[in-house]
Structure 1
Amino acid sequence: MSTPFPFTAVVGQDDLRLALLLNAVSPAVGGVLVRGEKGTAKSTAVRALSALLPPVPVVAGCRFSCDPAKPDAQCPDGPHEPGDGVERPARMVELPVGASEDRLVGALDIERALSEGVKAFEPGLLADAHRGILYVDEVNLLHDHLVDLLLDAAAMGASYVEREGVSVRHASKFLLVGTMNPEEGELRPQLLDRFGLTVEVAASREPDQRVEVVRRRLAYDDDPARFTARWADEEAAVRRRVVAARELLPSVRLGDGALRQIAATCAAFEVDGMRADIVMARTATALAAWAGRTEVLAEDVRQAALLALPHRRRRNPFDAPGLDEDKLDDTLEEFGGSEDEDPDPGPDGPDGSGGGQPPADGPEGDDTGARPEAGEEGGESGEQPAGSGPGEQRPAPAAEPFRTKVLSVPGLGEGAAGRRSRARTEHGRTTGARRPRGALTKLHLAATVQAAAPHQRARGRSGRGLVVRRDDLRQATREGREGNLVLFVVDASGSMAARQRMGAVKGAVLSLLLDAYQRRDKVGLLTFRGSAAEVALPPTSSVDAAAARLESLPTGGRTPLAAGLLKAHEVLRVERLRDPARRALVVVVTDGRATGGPEPVALAGRAARLFAAGSVASVVVDCESGPVRLGLAGRLADELDGTAVTLDELRADSIAGLVREVQGNSRRAA
Structure 2
Amino acid sequence: MSTFPFSAVVGHDDLRLALLLNAVHPGIGGVLVRGEKGTAKSTAVRALAALLPRLAVVSGCRFSCDPTATARDPDCPDGPHELGAGASETRAARLVELPVGATEDRLVGSLDLERALRDGVRAYQPGLLADAHRGVLYVDEVNLLHDHLVDLLLDAAAMGRAHVERDGVSVSHAARFLLVGTMNPEEGELRPQLLDRFGLAVEVRAARDVATRVEVVRRRMGFEADPAGFVAAWQESESETAARIAAAQARVGSVALPDAELRRIAAVCAAFDVDGMRADLVIARAAVAHAAWRGADEVAEEDVRVAARLALPHRRRRDPFDEPGIDDDALDDALREAAQQEEPPDDGGPDDSGPDDPGPGDGGPSGGGGAPQSENGTAASDASRPDTDHRPSGSTPAGDGRSAAAPPASTPFRARLLQVPGVGEGAPGRRSRARTDTGRTVRASGETPRRAADLHLPATIAAAAPHQLARGRAGSGLLLRTGDLRRAEREGREGNLVLFAVDASGSMAARARMSAVSGAVLSLLRDAYQRRDKVGLVTFRGTAAELVLPPTSSVPAAQVRLAAMRTGGRTPLADGLLRARAVLRVERLRDPRRRPLLVLLTDGRATVAAREGGDAVHDACRAAALLAADGVATVVVDCESGPVRLGLAARVAAAAGGPALGLAELSADQVAGVVRAARAA
Query: When the two structures are superposed, what TM-score results if normalisation uses the length of structure 2?
Result: 0.89
User: Structure 1: how far apart are the matches of 2:166 and 2:381?
Assistant: 46
Matched, 1:302 2:305: yes
Matched, 1:259 2:281: no
SS of residue paired to 2:405: coil
1:379 maps to which residue?
397
1:14/1:170 Cα in 2 relative to 1: closer, same or farther (>3 Å)? same
Amino acid at match of 1:406: L
Tell me by how many angstroms 1:108 deviates: 2.6
Amino acid at match of 1:61: G
User: Structure 2: how far apart are the matches of 1:261 and 1:502?
Assistant: 47
**Contact 1:393–1:555, Cα closer than 8 Å, also in 2:** yes
1:357/1:399 Cα in 2 relative to 1: closer, same or farther (>3 Å)? farther
1:233/1:520 Cα in 2 relative to 1: closer, same or farther (>3 Å)? same
Tell me by how many angstroms 1:323 deviates: 1.2
Matched, 1:205 2:208: yes
SS of residue paired to 2:397: coil
1:431 maps to which residue?
442
**Contact 2:448–2:485, Cα closer than 8 Å, also in 1:** no
**Contact 1:643–1:662, Cα closer than 8 Å, also in 2:** yes
- 1:202-241 maps to which residues of 2 (within 5 A)? 202-241=205-244
Q: Select 2:530's aligned residue among 518, 540, 543.
A: 518
Tell me by how many angstroms 1:114 deviates: 4.6
User: Structure 1: how far apart are the matches of 2:573 and 2:135?
Assistant: 57
- 1:318-397 maps to which residues of 2 (within 5 A)? 318-336=321-339, 358-360=377-379, 371=390, 374-375=393-394, 378-382=396-400, 391-397=402-408
User: Structure 2: how far apart are the matches of 1:148 and 1:251?
Assistant: 32
Matched, 1:643 2:659: yes
**Contact 1:115–1:467, Cα closer than 8 Å, also in 2:** no
Amino acid at match of 2:659: T
2:518 maps to which residue?
506
User: Structure 2: how far apart are the matches of 1:184 and 1:395?
Assistant: 26
2:128 maps to which residue?
125
- State the Cα deviation string for residues 280-324 of structure 1 (Å, max 9, x = none): 001111111111111222121111111001111112221000112
**Contact 2:607–2:617, Cα closer than 8 Å, also in 1:** no
Tell me by how many angstroms 1:356 deviates: 10
User: Structure 2: how far apart are the matches of 1:401 and 1:357?
Assistant: 35
- 1:443-592 maps to which residues of 2 (within 5 A)? 443-592=455-604
Deviates more, 1:59-68 or 1:600-609: 600-609
User: Structure 1: how far apart are the matches of 2:672 and 2:634?
Assistant: 16
User: Structure 2: how far apart are the matches of 1:286 and 1:163?
Assistant: 37
SS of residue paired to 1:410: coil
**Contact 2:191–2:320, Cα closer than 8 Å, also in 1:** no
1:172 maps to which residue?
175
- 1:399-414 maps to which residues of 2 (within 5 A)? 399-414=410-425
User: Structure 2: how far apart are the matches of 1:549 and 1:356?
Assistant: 23
Amino acid at match of 2:49: S
1:622 maps to which residue?
638
Task: Show structure 1 runs of 4+ deviating over 6 A.
Answer: 365-369
Tell me by how many angstroms 1:605 deviates: 4.5
1:656/1:25 Cα in 2 relative to 1: closer, same or farther (>3 Å)? same
1:567/1:439 Cα in 2 relative to 1: closer, same or farther (>3 Å)? same
Deviates more, 1:646-655 or 1:265-274: 646-655
Tell me by how many angstroms 1:337 deviates: 6.2
Tell me by how many angstroms 1:149 deviates: 2.9
2:92 maps to which residue?
89
Amino acid at match of 2:670: S
- 1:129-148 maps to which residues of 2 (within 5 A)? 129-148=132-151
Tell me by how many angstroms 1:27 deviates: 1.0
**Contact 1:374–1:500, Cα closer than 8 Å, also in 2:** no
Deviates more, 1:285-294 or 1:222-231: 285-294
**Contact 2:573–2:620, Cα closer than 8 Å, also in 1:** no
2:364 maps to which residue?
none
Amino acid at match of 1:419: R
User: Structure 2: how far apart are the matches of 1:36 and 1:309?
Assistant: 17
2:361 maps to which residue?
none
User: Structure 2: how far apart are the matches of 1:308 and 1:144?
Assistant: 22
1:624/1:188 Cα in 2 relative to 1: closer, same or farther (>3 Å)? same
1:271/1:91 Cα in 2 relative to 1: closer, same or farther (>3 Å)? same
1:362/1:259 Cα in 2 relative to 1: closer, same or farther (>3 Å)? farther
1:545/1:366 Cα in 2 relative to 1: closer, same or farther (>3 Å)? closer
**Contact 1:405–1:656, Cα closer than 8 Å, also in 2:** no
User: Structure 1: how far apart are the matches of 2:167 and 2:138?
Assistant: 30
Amino acid at match of 1:64: F
User: Structure 2: how far apart are the matches of 1:335 and 1:150?
Assistant: 35
User: Structure 2: how far apart are the matches of 1:233 and 1:380?
Assistant: 71
Tell me by how many angstroms 1:359 deviates: 4.1
User: Structure 2: how far apart are the matches of 1:649 and 1:362?
Assistant: 39
Matched, 1:662 2:675: no
User: Structure 2: how far apart are the matches of 1:499 and 1:44?
Assistant: 50
SS of residue paired to 1:336: helix
User: Structure 2: how far apart are the matches of 1:323 and 1:357?
Assistant: 13
- State the Cα deviation string for residues 47-99 of structure 1 (Å, max 9, x = none): 10011111111101111111112333333322213576221111111111122
**Contact 1:643–1:658, Cα closer than 8 Å, also in 2:** no
Amino acid at match of 1:501: R
1:6 maps to which residue?
5
The alignment yields a C-alpha RMSD, in angstroms, of: 2.4
Tell me by how many angstroms 1:526 deviates: 0.9
User: Structure 2: how far apart are the matches of 1:606 and 1:624?
Assistant: 21
SS of residue paired to 1:514: helix
Amino acid at match of 1:7: F
SS of residue paired to 1:480: strand
1:161/1:330 Cα in 2 relative to 1: closer, same or farther (>3 Å)? closer
Q: Which runs of 5+ in 1 are unaligned?
A: 339-354, 383-389
1:77 maps to which residue?
78
**Contact 1:643–1:661, Cα closer than 8 Å, also in 2:** yes
Matched, 1:188 2:191: yes
Amino acid at match of 1:174: F
Deviates more, 1:561-570 or 1:399-408: 399-408
User: Structure 1: how far apart are the matches of 2:80 and 2:381?
Assistant: 53
Q: Which runs of 5+ in 2 are unaligned?
A: 342-373
User: Structure 2: how far apart are the matches of 1:564 and 1:76?
Assistant: 61
**Contact 1:36–1:202, Cα closer than 8 Å, also in 2:** yes
Amino acid at match of 2:491: E
Matched, 1:159 2:162: yes
**Contact 1:444–1:475, Cα closer than 8 Å, also in 2:** yes
User: Structure 1: how far apart are the matches of 2:450 and 2:332?
Assistant: 57
SS of residue paired to 2:450: coil
**Contact 2:53–2:246, Cα closer than 8 Å, also in 1:** yes
User: Structure 1: how far apart are the matches of 2:677 and 2:411?
Assistant: 27
Amino acid at match of 1:551: A
- State the Cα deviation string for residues 516-557 of structure 1 (Å, max 9, x = none): 011111111111111111111111111001111111111122
1:600/1:169 Cα in 2 relative to 1: closer, same or farther (>3 Å)? farther
Query: When the two structures are superposed, what TM-score results if normalisation uses the length of structure 1?
Result: 0.91
